[in-house]
Chain A
Amino acid sequence: MMLPLLILWLMAGGIIAWLAEKVNASLSKWIAFLALAAAFGMTLAWWMQMNTSGGLNVWLMQYDTPWIPDFGIHFHLALDGLSLLMLTLTMFLGLAAVLTSWHEIEYRVGFFYFNILWVLAGITGVFLTMDLFLFYFFWEVMLIPMFFLIIIWGHENRRYAAYKFFIFTQASGLLMLLAIVGLYFVHGIASGTYTFDYFQLLNTQFSPQTGRLLMLGFLAAFIVKLPVVPFHSWLPDAHSEAPTAGSVILAGLLLKTGAYGLIRFVIPLFPVAAAEFAPWGMALGVLGILYGAVLAFAQTDLKRLVAYTSVSHMGFVMLGVFAFNSLALQGVVMQMITHGISTGALFILAGSLYERIHTRDINRMGGFWTQVPFMGTIGMVFAMASLGLPGLGNFVAEFLTLLGAWKATHILTILAAVGLVAATAYSLRIVQKVFLGRSEQKFTLPDLSFREKMILVPLVIVIVWLGVYPQPVMNTVKEVITLTLNPTDIKPTTPRISDKDIQKGGTHDRK
């Protein structure tokens, strides 16, 4: 029962925050903040509870109730280590997004926080759903509020960016819907049970050709979201035009739903087709790493620059997922988390700078270290995270990914490693252009406020923690990764945390 409650909690919080605007605009902020703080506490509490290892029984919680029984659609949520990590990250970055908007958003405040909470609710749903129809539903739920966030509170070119984001995501999402429906019928015809249930659809038998086509449908949605070059071009516009909170959620969380989809659906549902596609997948990943890095180096808009670094970093996800081994997948999961944190932090810094000097053009910046040493230090930390300095979380992610990828391909791994040199070039360029050198324009900047420190310092602590002691995260997903690589073993077993959540689960078919 806790799982649907979490989603409802966020949605209800969103509605109340919207209504509260009538009373007082700053009440909306507080409601959003408290709703997320409670949700964050919840996910942390679950994480504490799961310490005991259950072998291959990965399910911590489950909730299953028929929704549209005639079509075999269930409201089926389940939580495993991977979902749990993603949820924790969602709430953590959600809090950062709310805090960073505190003074930035002054127009239609209530509706803003409504959209923030609804997009987070959609993301939560995506990370929990075990029913493909419901998955598609949540996939859309996170799209629309994000569209509003960009088009209402974005920068100058926001309409263009919002439509572009919408069309890319929607078009690729429709391909996924086709594939979902296709899978539904293929499975239904073969077995006689028409269902959208994830566990039943696993191990569906189909001809290689069908498998390939269906996988491409899923893949389309996920690699556009991730994004993979050449489907990335919505991202720089959306990221740079969105308000800070929007960029944080986009880069930190929405991209991760693409990565999550690859791990949760593409590989387990289509192990054969995915293995066939693997060399192409890895090649696309490496292309993204290099192409994104070269483009990032040329940008003059700070947010656009950071956006292209995301393209580059997400290439590692693609490389790692299709390397098909547990080392690389551990790296991918680490990359999902650490990239969320480090890129989120860079967008927050860009937002803080924009609030102070009202420009994102790095050619007009420079020499800010003298005035804002605290911000400079934090900027330095995250620039280093972005170039993969050991001791920070991103290194662990990239190293494990490459170590795993090396087993699969030597040439591509070497090329990906070259990407690390390119990453050095663009990361150092950020630091140089913003904080070092001399300023040609006389800006006066106050250093970070207490609120901003409260956002950024925890992010620094987490990125260092993940760099020197990532073990808790790795233990949390260890079994999920083993199962992903052996999808025949994925079973909806009795969840480990609480029994009352599965009362309805009994009705559901166990193979």
Chain B
Amino acid sequence: MKELLWLIPALPLAGALTLILAGDKLSRATAGLVGCGSVGLSAIITLLIGFDFLSSPQPYHQLLWSWMAVEGFHTEFAFHLDALSMVFLFVITFVGTLIHIYSTGFMVDDDGFARFFAYLNLFVCAMLILVLADNLLLMYLGWEGVGLCSYLLIGFWYQEEKNGYAARKAFIVTRVGDTSMAIGLFMLFQAFGTLNIQELMTHASQTWQVGAHAAVVIAFLLLGGAVGKSAQLPLQTWLPDAMAGPSPVSALIHAATMVTAGVYLIARTHVIFELAPDAQMAVGIVGAVTLLLAGCSALTQYDLKRVLAYSTISQIGYMFLALGIGAWSAGIFHFMIHAFFKALLFLGAGAVIMLLHHEHDMFKMGGLRKKLPVIYWTFLIGSASLAAIPFVTAGFYSKDQILWLALAGEKGNPVFYAAALAGAFITSVYTFRMVFVTFFGHEHTHVGHDAGRSMTVPLIILAILSTIAGFIELPHTFGHVTLFSDFLNPVLPTVALKPELEHLEVLFQAIAAVVALSGVYIAYFFYVKQPELPTVIKKAVPGLHHLWYNGWGFDALYNTLLVRPYVFLSTLNKNDVIDKVYGGMVTFTQYCNGVLVRTQSGMMRWYVMGIVIGAILMLTLGLML
């Protein structure tokens, strides 16, 4: 079965090519079928390979062809399947298929129907290459490929100038991170003469001591790539704007898959990060700070999708925090659960926005609970999972694990724990703020009909996954199931606990549960019981609200420091100052010409005079020398 591996990315690629080349000629039904079918088939093959993999869990290597081989450097188009890539494959193809199906309903009236599915398929292909690549260069191909598709899809409605701006911003900001990653690749190649990931990890652990200078530098460079793609501090600014794309895009690319590529990269190269404790600590710090900053921004947004965007940044912050404390499988577990519930929330939000005729402001929604029951219930389940409501949601188990290990893991510390706990409270508040404002209270905008089945079925499936998927990994105080971490164990090492804290786990779980529930109550109090209070608070601290609303002013900072000076300098020099030098030479020559031309006046006495003066000068010079 495993030899079919190449088909998993190849099928979406074939779908994309078909739709690009023949998209206009295909009917909508056919185009939708090609789009969903190719990814659906990949999902089925993934499932088959998955069963095969469970029965024989040794890594599988598939060489397609040699990409380039020159003196001292060779690299292949080759795939490496292990438990880590298996998890990503599963999430990408399954969530991908659901989102494709949803899109057939969501995009039904759009002129660019076939183009949309072409880009979506291309994205899935690139993302699959990213997680399957056996070497960093091929991973870089997938990495940039998803960046391209993200650009194309954010700017999908290309006639709006602001969509184009958001798309370019996303591409350029992530490219800054990519460049850092590329330099990391150069260093790795110089150190070990290969870019094959498995070989690199073996060499690294054999050659470098913990804390080796090269390891630290390389880990920081890779982290640079990761923060760009995963929208973490300081390169997080592109993600909120990326919401300009259609909602299924936000669900697939900007929540479930692409933005977690940074998490994948760090987990994949975890050996280097373990050899570079400073860099690993930096990963944790980036995560902790990002999750707090983004959470605060999420509290103040009005646009439903922007709340979710900041929430995504914040949740990826949790994953980075987990990676930073060496809780590798906890980070990946949260990635998977997050993919389910965040895709669900984006799809639900997209459905609401579509049914309300592209109304994004949730304060103009309200009271949708009765009108849109399926969307309401699924959205509620997703929100509960995001807010980590105890025991019944998957999000509780994945986030609780990170909270607990942030304190009790051997690399954990109270500061990380405090940040994560505060973040959990904020998450719960903004999540239920969103739920109460959108679905409770008075109806502000009239809504006609419910969403079609192609949209509701994926919502229901994702809602189920957002609940039951948590049960494959339960804390040992509560069921003690470790299916997921056992599965990943051959690839990612487990985290050791601090012995003095081990017996306190129940206490900290209780704290996490209380925090999550109190967040819900706060949201209820402010937005249902006393809905005038938030306005009062906002008026009391306008500066803070403004700061949070604008994402802590990073955009303004970058615009002032980088964008405007660059545009200014480049516009200033539009006509190329160097060319002026040559122009000056021309002007000078012409001037000399003008002067000399005047000597040719046609008047005999001037010529005679000239000859006489010349003769005198020559004689003088001759005598003097």
Contact = CB atoms under 8 A, between A and B. Distances in A.
Nearest to A423: B175
Interface residues of B, number: 53
B71 A326 contact: yes
Contact of A389 (B115, B144, B581): B144
Q: Most A CB atoms within 10 A — which of B70, B158, B566?
A: B70
B137 interface: yes
B69 A236 contact: no
A233 interface: yes
A471 B578 contact: no
Given A233-B576, A389-B148, A432-B168, A400 B570 contact: no
Interface string A210-230: 000000000000000000011
B179 A420 contact: yes
Contacts of B71: 326-327, 330, 478, 481-482
A390 interface: yes
B70 A326 contact: yes
A236 B576 contact: yes
A295 B179 contact: no
Interface string B173-189: 00110110011011101
A471 B66 CA distance: 8
A478 to B, nearest CB: 7
A326 B74 CA distance: 13
A297 B570 contact: yes
B186 A330 contact: no
A134 B65 CA distance: 43
B70 A327 contact: yes
A64 B190 CA distance: 44
B20 A437 contact: no
B530 interface: no
Contacts of A471: 66-69
Interface string B547-588: 000000000000000000011011101101011011000000
Nearest to B158: A436
B293 interface: no
B164 interface: yes
For chain A, what secondary structure do more than half of its interface residues adopt (helix, strand, loop), or is it mixed?
Answer: helix
B148 A384 contact: yes
Contact of B171 (A164, A294, A428): A428
A17 B546 CA distance: 71
Interface string A461-475: 000000011110010
Given A420-B179, A432-B168, A406 B190 contact: yes
A402 B186 contact: yes
A330 B183 contact: no
Contact of A327 (B20, B72, B176, B582): B72
B164 A437 contact: yes
Given A369-B158, A390-B144, A469-B67, 12 more contacts: A297-B566, A300-B574, A389-B144, A390-B141, A417-B179, A421-B175, A428-B151, A436-B155, A436-B164, A470-B68, A474-B70, A481-B71
21 contacts: A236-B576, A295-B570, A295-B574, A300-B574, A326-B70, A326-B72, A327-B73, A367-B159, A390-B140, A391-B141, A391-B145, A402-B182, A403-B185, A420-B182, A421-B172, A424-B171, A425-B172, A432-B168, A435-B158, A436-B164, A469-B67
Interface of A: 164, 229-230, 232-233, 236, 294-295, 297-300, 326-327, 330, 367, 369-370, 373, 377, 380, 384, 389-391, 395-396, 399-400, 402-403, 406-407, 413-414, 417-418, 420-421, 424-425, 428-429, 432, 435-438, 468-471, 474, 478, 481-482
